[in-house]
Amino acid sequence: MSAAQSTGADTPDAQEYAGELGGFVLARSTLDRVSARRGDTDWLAAAWADSGTRVLVLDNARALVRFGDKEAELILVPTAEAPEGLRFLLGVDDAEVAYFGVMGPPGCLGSLTEDAEAPGQEGTEQEGTEQEAGEQEPGGLEASAPEAAGEDAPGQGAAGQEAPEQEAPAQEAPAQEAPAQEAAGPEAPGPQTPGPEAPGPEAPGPEAAGPEAAPPAPAQQTVTEQAAWLARARPGLRPAGLREAAALLNDRDAGLFTHAVALANWHATHTHCPRCGTPTVTVAAGHAQRCPADGSEHFPRIDPAVIMLVTDPDDRCLLARNRRWPERRVSILAGFVEPGESAEQAVAREVQEETGIGVARVRYAGSQPWPMPQSLMLGFRAAASGDLELRVDDDEIAEAHWYSREELRLALAAQEVLLPPPVSIAHRLIQSWYGEELPGVW
Ligand SMILES: [Zn+2]
């Protein structure tokens, strides 16, 4: 693949490692992560120096994406055209092409946006553009809830979660599931979430990258080089987040983007040693941080969240609306796993807390990462047992109802309810119960 834009046809099918369900948008990949290479500085330097190596540039968890009719592809650039920034190794494909991710400076994708709309201006006005872009993005990516909504934010359950969703504008935010976001904790929604957006000091900054981070950064990038990269912009190209683009990307790109965003979100918010507060240095090709003061090593944080499709004896599905979501948005219940709790216990606890329903036969269905900013969504199905009267907590859940397939079909047709988008595990779980493609808009 020559250029930066190839993808598609020449990429192999993803090897699927799935649970009972599978087919999750963000659980795809065609690359070998070559984790054994992360400490091999010679190999990393050689890979970075190779003109065939490709780089996914991120700005606040967004990447440059070319949107086509019903598909999209990531714009990857040669290392010489990548901006400076914290770097991480994403993997190697079957043709031995190495892929890296780089957290570029705020606004580094900005000009592209304009170009897309006005092809003529591309290379110019970078500054302005970038700034604007920068501003948007912050919110944008994650913040924007796009993702949040999406899905998985356990939001509901997880207390904190809401946060996730909150941000989500509504739209996608079905949030419930969104634990994700902030998975951090229930409450956590806040701070961390932003992470991405907060290009802040620490994050992206090249410095952050630390010495070992990956191969030494290329020499200062020249204006010309940067302009060359920006010049690639053209109609159809624009910075986009996972939530918006993932479902349209092929397996390779979906995996690259998900992996890169997860690492970038972690780096953006974890910049100091949790033991002593000393700024850490990035090691292991961007997959770990080490404290220079006490030598402790720290790895990417992932917050497990459960999301469950609960059915009653008549096989009706339980759907609820988080209080922070917009009217009509509903999804299945979700929440963060608490310390000292199994995933199955979390399923039972969350359903009980949010709707007063007891469950039995909790069965694992599959999982997918939800780096908005750092969740791993564990999907389950469970059967309601005992009293089926719904008693929603007035805290996180605004309303909850049992839907038969016919009732859901009619509600969707009348646009009385809006389901989570395809990128979410919630969508897949609901669809698996529904029995066919879900109608409606997201
Ligand atoms: Zn320390």
For residue 275, how far is its CA from the centre of ligand 1 (angstroms)?
5
Task: Tell the burial category of 62 from Cβ atoms under 10 Å away from its Cβ (0-12, 13-18, 19+).
Answer: buried
Give 280 Cα–ligand 1 centroid separation in angstroms: 8
Between these two residues, 150 and 386, which has the higher pLDDT value? 386
pLDDT of residue 214: 32
User: What tens digit of pLDDT does each residue of 429-440 get?
Assistant: 999 999 999 987
Q: Could you tell me the distance, in angstroms and rounded to a whole number, from the CA of residue 88 to the centre of ligand 1?
A: 22
Rounded to the nearest angstrom, the distance between the alpha carbon of 32 and the centre of ligand 1 is 32
d(CA 347, CA 279): 37
Q: Ligand 1 centroid vs 195 CA: distance in angstroms?
A: 21
What is the average per-residue pLDDT within 42-67?
97
- State in Å: Cα 303 to ligand 1 middle: 22
* Alpha carbon of 296 to ligand 1 centroid (Å): 6
pLDDT at 425: 97
Inter-residue contact 64 to 238 (CB < 8 Å): yes
Q: Is residue 145 within 8 Å of 265, Cβ to Cβ?
A: no
pLDDT number for residue 17: 78
Distance 128 CA to ligand 1 centre (A): 39
Alpha carbon of 288 to ligand 1 centroid (Å) = 14
Rounded Cα gap, residues 111 and 83, in angstroms? 14
User: What distance in angstroms lies between residue 294's CA and the mean position of ligand 1's atoms?
Assistant: 5
Indicate if the alpha-carbon torsion angle 130, 164, 253, 41 is positive or negative.
positive
Q: Give per-residue pLDDT as tens, 166-221.
A: 333 333 333 333 333 333 333 222 222 333 222 222 222 222 233 233 333 333 33
Residue partners of 200: CB distance under 8 A and separation at least 6:
268
Separation of CA 293 and ligand 1 centre (Å): 5
Q: What is the pLDDT of residues 304-359, one digit of tens each?
A: 999 999 999 999 999 999 999 999 999 999 999 999 999 999 999 999 999 999 99
- DSSP E strands, 198-312: 237-240, 281-283, 288-290, 297-298, 303-311
Q: Separation of 290 CA from ligand 1 center, angstroms?
A: 8
* Range with lowest mean pLDDT among 2-11, 109-118, 332-341, 393-402: 2-11
Q: What is the band of 281 on the pLDDT scale with cuts at 50, 70, 90?
A: very high
| 159: pLDDT strictly greater than 70 | no
- Nearest residue to 330 via CA among 413, 247, 408: 408
Q: Residue 398: which residues within 8 A CB-CB, separation 6 or more?
A: 320, 321, 322, 323, 325, 392
Rounded to the nearest whole angstrom, what is the distance from the C-alpha of residue 45 to the centroid of ligand 1?
28
Which pLDDT score is estimated for 77?
A: 95
- Per the CB < 8 A criterion, the answer to whether 71 and 250 are in contact is yes
Q: Who contacts 340 (Cβ-Cβ below 8 Å, separation ≥6)?
A: none
Cα(260) to centroid of ligand 1, in Å?
25
Is pLDDT of 246 > 90? yes
Residue 402 — pLDDT band, cuts 50, 70, 90?
very high
Looking at residue 14, its pLDDT comes to: 58
Query: Per-residue pLDDT averaged across 135-154, rounded?
Result: 33
For the entire predicted model, the pTM comes to: 0.74
Say yes or no to pLDDT of 392 above 60: yes
Q: Where are the alpha helices (DSSP H) in 202-250?
A: 223-230, 242-245
Q: Distance from the CA of 282 to the center of ligand 1, in angstroms?
A: 13
d(CA 189, CA 162): 7
The CA 265 to ligand 1 mean position distance, Å, reads: 21
Tell how far the Cα of 299 is from the centroid of ligand 1, in angstroms.
Answer: 13
160 C-alpha vs ligand 1 centroid, how far in Å? 28
Query: What is the band of 19 on the pLDDT scale with cuts at 50, 70, 90?
Result: confident
Fill in the DSSP letter of residue 81.
G
pLDDT band at 236 (very low <50, low <70, confident <90, very high): confident
For residue 384, CA distances in Å to 157, 316, 409 come to 17, 10, 22
Mind listing the domains of the chain with CATH numbers? 1-143+199-300 (no CATH), 303-434 (3.90.79.10)
Instruction: Give ion ligand 1 contacts, CB < 5 A.
Output: 273, 275-276, 278, 291, 293-294
Q: 292 C-alpha vs ligand 1 centroid, how far in Å?
A: 7
Distance 277 CA to ligand 1 centre (A): 6
CB of 300 closer than 8 Å to CB of 285: no
Tell me what pLDDT residue 18 has. Answer: 76
